[in-house]
Chains A and B, each alone.
Chain A
Amino acid sequence: MKNEMTHLKRSKVALKGDKPDKVPVFSRDLTFPLDVVDYTTPEVCKGGAGGTFDAEKSAEAVIKSQEEIGHDVVLGSVWDLGLASDVYGGETKFPEYGIPRVDEAAFSDNLERVEDVDPINFREDGRYPGVLESYEIVSEEIGDEVGIAVNIQGPVTEACLMRGTEKLLMDMMERPDLAKELIDLATTNIKNFIEECFEAGANLTTFLAASNDGTEVLTPQFMREFSLPKIKEIVEFSHDLGYPVVFHPHGVFTEPEHHELVDKSISTGIDGFQFAEDNDYEFAAEKWGEDVCILGGVSIKDAILPGPVSKIENEVKKRLKDCAKDGGYIAMAACSLHRDTPVENVRAMTEATHKYGEYPINL
């Protein structure tokens, strides 16, 4: 297998919609790296001084995971979903070998409190300083060669984590102005976090992990009203910093009734769209592949978790055939990767992509 480009260069070219030497892989491995180094979850996510995030162990996990798997794009740190909620008084649980989860959302009992709180200071508040330090270490160690993406929740998704999904949905219907205040706060925090991460050494793209910004949770009207205007704001902000944006809302967007939402998402200026499970990727590449970089497509539930390796290879080949021939495709799972995902299966996804995804692709 030829390596005419670095991981970073390969990823930049694909994100621009062009053909690199071979299709890059972005495993968006949020807590998966912890299994590679066999650290417990609390040891890293709150095991640093004073119960904060352990930057050195997080960075070690990210770097060793990249060495082990060979993917082209990493995140600058191990990532969990309770970071923002914790700053505002929420509680996150850290199972020994499990995935951190928000146990008590910060605004679950009192949304009105949103009017009295300040945006997060990422260099001082909660566990964030450790996260940013992890980005710095990863950047220093592998940032010349490997793509480092900023992973952050989408605006509605982040607001859901701070309020509770069901409650925020009811707020959107019953007191939309207050719901928008929380989403505004989330958006300000997202933009500030993006800026801090690029300053800390991220070098490739902003990735908006926006599960609850899509139709799996929102009505199309809610997506248009509450999410997409904020996505546009974040995209413009990231572009001003010089970096593209990938959007990953959950929902089956290749169904005809949702096509206009993809069109509207693209009109916010996003550079990439990661389609979630159950979408028709061939259709997505055909319809939108000229407008944005297409990402994703390797099923976690049907291939990466259960295996075997041969099934993963077949799935990768199908995606390469459907989405990658004209460039502008980054292989990744249909969503993020966490602990308890078989390491050999993630490696198989990467190896198969690099093996069969060399340009020109003949599948």
Chain B
Amino acid sequence: MEVSKKIKETVIEGEKKDYGDLIDKAKDEGLSATDIVDIMAEAMDIVGDKFDKGDFYLPQVITSANAFNGILEIIEPDLREDISGSGKGKVVIGVVEGDVHKIGKNLVSTLLDAAGFSVVDLGDDVKSDEFINTAKEEEADIIGLSTMMTTTMSEVEEVVDRVEEESLNEQTKTIIGGGPCSQEYANEIGADGYAKNAQKAVKEVSEILEV
């Protein structure tokens, strides 16, 4: 099997192994780090589609994301040399204060990374101040806000409000996601975008930034 197909299959199947040999072979065949990321991005697209259609469930997506991150870790030094500039745009992402459900946010983070965005992942239980200050420092194009709990939806709204109050909204757009969120809710609180799952989050960010 040609090495690009093998990389793609490794990510889709979420194979856990020493990825060093695979990457060495890829390099021997002349693939650059960015080529490998492109192949993995295609694989994660397929994984996202399968999740969207109900063919894949959360554990399968997590293993794929783990394989993606495992390979990424190996090629990261080469990748830094390959990529100049900030890619498609910068996204500051996190789970809002009071909520520690981070699986969905982690997947969005991985897929955005795979799609060529620069991601600043703040983790979970993130205070609104931290979202705003980081967005300012990093000159973020997008703030991604995640919550899985109805009871922390007000935190999402608070960050969206503060983006507007502090006049960040010319530079920085907001996108929300997680179980209780909806397009209706995004419209109601004035968020710029909503995504039902990780796959759609990448699409939404790309559309907002027109990249």
Contact = CB atoms under 8 A, between A and B. Distances in A.
Contacts of A173: 59, 63
A101 B184 contact: no
5 contacts: A169-B62, A222-B57, A300-B150, A306-B188, A338-B151
Contacts of A306: 185, 188
A166 interface: yes
A246 interface: no
B171 interface: no
A266 interface: no
A305 interface: yes
Given A257-B54, A300-B180, A301-B180, A341 B59 contact: no
A228 to B, nearest CB: 16
B103 interface: yes
A119 interface: no
Nearest to A222: B59
Contacts of A257: 54
Nearest to B99: A101
Contact of A215 (B57, B66, B182, B188): B57
Closest 4 CB pairs of A and B: A219-B57, A301-B180, A338-B151, A169-B59
Contacts of B106: 166
A257 B121 CA distance: 35
Interface of B: 16, 54, 57-60, 62-63, 66, 98-103, 106, 125, 149-151, 153-154, 179-182, 184-185, 188
B150 A166 contact: no
A339 B153 CA distance: 12
Interface in A146-176: 165-166, 169-170, 172-174
A14 to B, nearest CB: 25
B58 A169 contact: yes
Given A172-B59, A219-B60, A222-B59, A255 B54 contact: yes
A152 B103 CA distance: 23
Contact of B100 (A101, A172, A340): A101
A277 B188 CA distance: 20
B100 A335 contact: no
A216 B57 CA distance: 8
Contact of A165 (B103, B181, B185): B103
Contacts of B181: 301
B151 A341 contact: yes
Nearest to B103: A166
A218 B54 contact: no
B150 A335 contact: yes
Nearest to A219: B57
A302 B182 contact: yes
Nearest to A301: B180
B98 A302 contact: no
A102 interface: yes
B184 A302 contact: yes
B98 A95 contact: yes
A301 B59 contact: no
B179 A277 contact: yes
Nearest to B182: A301
A170 B63 CA distance: 8
Contacts of B59: 169-170, 172-173, 218-219, 222
B58 A217 contact: yes
B111 to A, nearest CB: 16
